[in-house]
Amino acid sequence: MPHYNYDLFVIGAGSGGVRAARLAAKAGARVAIAEDDRIGGTCVIRGCVPKKLFVYASDFSQAFRDAKGFGWSVDWARFDWPTLRDNVEAEVSRLSGLYRKNLDGAGATIFEDRATVIDANTVRLNRAGAAYTAERILVATGGHTYRPTDIKGHELGITSTDAFKLDKLPTRILIAGGGYIAVEFATVFSGLGVETTLVMRADKVLRGFDADVRAHVHAELEQSGIKVVTGATIREVAELASGARLATLSNGVRLEVDQVMFALGRQPNTPGLGLEAAGVKLNARGAVEVDQFSRSNVPSIWAVGDVTDRINLTPVAIREAQAFAATEFMGEPTMFDHADVASAVFCRPPVGAVGLTEEEARAAHKDVRVYRTVFRPMKHILAGNPQKSLMKLVTLGAKGRVLGVHIAGPEAPELIQVAAIAVKAGLTKAQWDATCAVHPTAAEELVLMSEPVPHDNEAPA
């Protein structure tokens, strides 16, 4: 029986790594965790948490406008960027400190260093130079923003990571991409009063979401004042004498802005990690290939979270980490089920989605029904706010299982968490219909949709 320095060596102290390290240490394992940056990972340090706080900040401008219809005068409202940026940074530091405290409390050893895998059971700390052996290695290194190095002048642009630290708020920004990060940051900047343009190669934002949601959000973003350029990409970015950026698009349009931001996707953090040398198989995108227990082809090496490029969301990384710790350290073999994971996009209106899109459902099943409603929320009417909400259920037959729920409207991320329980539990449309409404709410629409939307291939009800 070989003697190892640790039972578990975790590389990366983000959502997945910290959860696995804590649970394994609490179960009695000797655990070490290495992190090159602050503890907390993308979610806490440069992702979900600071982004959501920025979204809250940007929501106020609409709230001030809405307030007038309810009798309030708020013409004095002024926004101060350094106050927001520094307060958010302070909160991020507080949370990072809590993560550290929890790791310490569980008895894990923290190495503030970059780690490289040397072989199936050995990890080396890059700065300290020390090497440690471990019975199990868990790779939880997350991902990083893709930077399009083929675009001339790309280095003049920022990414979401930089956006949290800007010295001053730009007056005009051009954001490349139409995914989660692009629409969320377009919403944030636009809400903070920045003249915002989105440029994307697709014809609608949010590829992968239900087509109705994509069309609805796209139209609402434009209606809110965000300029959206479709079917185009950035060709070149140049710096003007004023310090402004001149972006040339593939359609020939030239735009002068103060900042260009790239939100063109993220890539797994595997380069330079030593995984190939240790024999770990990576896929074409550089992600660690794992089985349902998050185990790589090397039996002593596992991976969880964005580095595996399965579903790149914080709660998924946490559940994968929990399943790993339960399987390896608590004697409870556990697989995380990646089906029906809900997600939310914090744009305006925000989106919540779980289960199959209409397109996916029609491709997989014969008798698919779609229930859809578009309405102006009660609060928006007095406010004079034209923004509408969309709710959509995708079901199997008229009374069968609810396969998907898609919402774009206020509180959609909160609603979808609850709807996800029903979808995951496999509840039927008949059971949704049997649920009494809560009035007056927007959510009641979810149990009041009685007539399916007509569709060519549909059998009569």
Judge whether 178 and 206 are in contact, CB under 8 Å.
yes
Q: Which of 127, 207, 281, 285 binds ligand NDP (CB under 6 A)?
A: 207
439 is catalytic: yes
- Which residues on neighbouring strands pair with residue 31, listed in sequence order? 8
DSSP letter (8 states) at residue 437 = P
- Shortest approach of ligand NDP to residue 343 CB, angstroms? 5
Burial letters 384-399, b for 16+ CB under 10 A, else e: ebebbbbbbbbbbbbe
- Binding residues among 265-294 for ligand NDP as defined by CB under 6 A: 265-266
Under the criterion CB under 6 A, does residue 192 sit at the interface with ligand NDP?
no
Under the criterion CB under 6 A, does residue 420 sit at the interface with ligand NDP?
no
Tokens for 84?
Answer: 């927001």
Under the criterion CB under 6 A, does residue 248 sit at the interface with ligand NDP?
no
Nearer to ligand NDP, 174 or 181 (CB): 181
- Site map for ligand NDP, 166-185, x if CB under 6 A? -----------xxxxxx-x-
- Binding residues among 302-341 for ligand NDP as defined by CB under 6 A: 312-313
Q: Name which of 343, 323, 329, 333 is nearest 412 in CA terms.
A: 343
Number of residues in contact with ligand NDP under rule CB under 6 A: 23
- Shortest approach of ligand NDP to residue 6 CB, angstroms? 31
Cα 280 to chain center, whole Å? 27
Task: Give the span between the Cα atoms of 249 and 228, in whole angstroms.
Answer: 13
Nearer to ligand NDP, 184 or 320 (CB): 184
Q: Which of 217, 344, 407, 446 binds ligand NDP (CB under 6 A)?
A: 344
- Shortest approach of ligand NDP to residue 454 CB, angstroms? 29
- Residue 432, classified by CB atoms within 10 Å of its CB into exposed (0-12), middle (13-18) or buried (19+), is buried
Judge whether 161 and 143 are in contact, CB under 8 Å.
no
In 162-233, the DSSP E strands lie at 172-176, 195-199, 227-229
Cis? peptide before 268, omega within 30° of 0: no
Nearer to ligand NDP, 161 or 300 (CB): 161
Q: Which of 139, 200, 341, 423 binds ligand NDP (CB under 6 A)?
A: 200
Under the criterion CB under 6 A, does residue 343 sit at the interface with ligand NDP?
yes
Q: Name which of 438, 447, 374 is nearest 215 in CA terms.
A: 374
Helix (H), strand (E) at residue 368: strand 368-375
Nearer to ligand NDP, 121 or 160 (CB): 160
Interaction site with ligand NDP (CB under 6 A): 148, 177-182, 184, 200-202, 207, 233, 263-266, 312-313, 343-346
Catalytically active residues are 439
